[in-house]
Chain A
Amino acid sequence: MNLSKLLSPDWREWRSEFGRRTVIGIPFIWMLLFFLIPFVIVLKISFAYTEIAIPPYSSLFEYADEALTIVLHLGNYIWLADDPLYLSAYFGSVEIAFFGTLFCLAVGYPMAYAMARAPKQWQSALLVAVLLPSWTSFLIRIYAWMGILRNNGLLNNLLLWMGVIDQPLQILNTNVAVYIGIVYAYLPFMVLPIYSNLVKLDNSLLEAAQDLGTRPLECFFKITLPLSRNGIIAGSMLVFIPAVGEVVIPQLLGGPETLMIGKILWQEFFNNRDWPVASALAIVMLLVLLIPIMIFNHARLREMEERS
C-alpha cells in the first residue's frame, strides 16, 4: 500500500468494508456462540463426574502443582451402555420415528399428489389449509388428542355408541396414541416438500409416456415417483429427525411402555438432575442423527442447485 493512500484513506471504501465485516460478523458470531460452541460444552460435560454442587458436575481441568490434569470420565457412557433402559430407549425412539415417518409418507404422498393435480386456482388455498395447523400451538394440538383418545373420550364413546366395541379401548398412554400424535403433528412437514417437488414436474413427460402406451400406474412408478425423490427425502428427514428427539408426544400421549430417548433425557435432567448423564445421552442422540441430518442437508443443497 502506498503512503499517500495510507495518509488519506478512502473513507467510503473503509466504511463499506466495515459494513461488510459487520454483516458477516454479527450473524456468524451469534450462531457460533449460541449454536456451535454449546455442543462442545455438552461434549465436555458428558465426560464430567456428577456432583452435588452448583453446577452439578465436576470440572475436567485441574491445575495444581504446576501440572494441568485433564480427567476424562468415561463412566457416563459406560453407564449408558450397561443399562438396558437407555439402549432400548434409543431403539424405541428410532423405531417409533421410523414407522411414524412411514405412516406420514403413506398419508402425505397421496395428499401432495392430489394437491399438485388440483386446479391451479385451488392449489394455494389447499396449501394454506395443510400448513395452517402447523402454525397452531404444538402443545395444544397434542392436547386435543388427549381428549379424543381417553377411555371415556370422544372416540371410545363414538365406537361404543356405534356398537363396534363393548368396552372402552385403552388407546391413550399407548404407542398407538404416540403414532397418531406424530403423524398428526408432522404431516404438514411431509406434504410440503413433496408437493413442491410434484408441482414442478414436467407434464409433457407423462403425456409422452402415455402416448407411447404406458399404463397410468406404470407411469407413476417409472416417472412421477423417481422424479419426486428429493421431496420424499426432505420430507422424511423433516419428520424423522425431530421425531427421534420428541419429548412432548411421549410424555402426554405415551405410557410406561413408550421408551423414547427425548423423554428419558428430560427426566434425567429435570427429575434426577444428572447433567453429565443427560449430556452423554444428547451426544449419543446427536451421533444417531448425524447421518439423517447430513442426508437432509445434501438433499436441500441439491434442490437449491437445481433451482438456480
Chain B
Amino acid sequence: MSRPAGRTDWADEDDEESSVQLPPTSITKNKDGTETIITYTIRDDGKKIKTTRRIKKTTVKTEVNPRVAERKHWAKFGAEKGKPLGPQTDTTSVAENIVFRPVAAWKASTEDKSETEKKKANLKDAKIKCRICSGDHWTTKCPFKDTMTPEGGAAPADLADDEPEKAGGLGAGGSSYVPPHLRGRGGAGEKMGGKYERDDLATLRVTNVSEFAEEQDLRDMFSRYGHVTRVFLAKDRETGKAKGFAFVSYADRMDAEKACEKMDGYGFGHLILRVEFAKKAT
C-alpha cells in the first residue's frame, strides 16, 4: 500500500494494519466426501486466526406442492413492490414463545395458578432470609420473632433498656418507627404484648436435632409430655434438610418443664438432643 508522503493519518495507519497479507482460503476435498475449508482471519487484537472447518454436504429432498413452489417465486406487488426476498422487519416479527399444551380437563384457573407459582418462584430467587431463624420468610413473619433474638445479634442481656431499638426493634421489622422520646418508656413496644409472654413461657428450644428429622417426629416425641400447640423445625430452603434446631410450644408451662427435663439429653437419630427454654427476646 502506497501512502502519499506527508500524510500520517491515524485512520490511514489503521487501514494499513488490516491489510496484512492473509493466506488465501483453501478448500480441499477429502476422500470420504467431506470438504475441509481453511480460512484465515485477523482478530481485533491483531492476532491471526486460522479456522479449519470440515463439512459434509448432504442433499435433503422434500416434496412440495408444485403450485406452492411456484407461488414462492412470485414477484412482490403493492406496498411490497421491489422489496428484497424474505420477511421485512417492519411488517413481520416473531412473537415471544407461547406454550400451548392441550389438556383434557382444562380450567381457566390452571393458568392463573401457574402465574402465582411463577410469583412464588420469583420470591425464591429474591433470597428471603429471616434474620431470626434464617428461614425463608420475612423477619416480620417469623414465628419466633417474639421468642428469639436475631441471629448473630448481640446478647439481649447486654442491651441497655433505654436503647432497645438498636437490634431488637429494627430487627423485628414489624414495629414501626418509635420517636426517640418514647423509646425508653415504651420499651420494646408491641413485644410486651400477651402473645410474647404466652409463647415464651411454654416454648422449648431444641437444638442438636438430626438433619433428617421431620416436624412430625418431634411432635410425636414431645406430645408424650402434654399438649403440643406448635412445632417449628427450621429447615434449609434449598435442601429441605433440617437446620438442627426446632421450637416446641406447649399449652401448659408445666408440661413444658417436664418435657424439658426429660428430653434434654435424649438420643434422637444419631444425635443427642439439647432442650432448654427458649430465651426471651428483648
Query: Are both chains from one complex?
Result: no
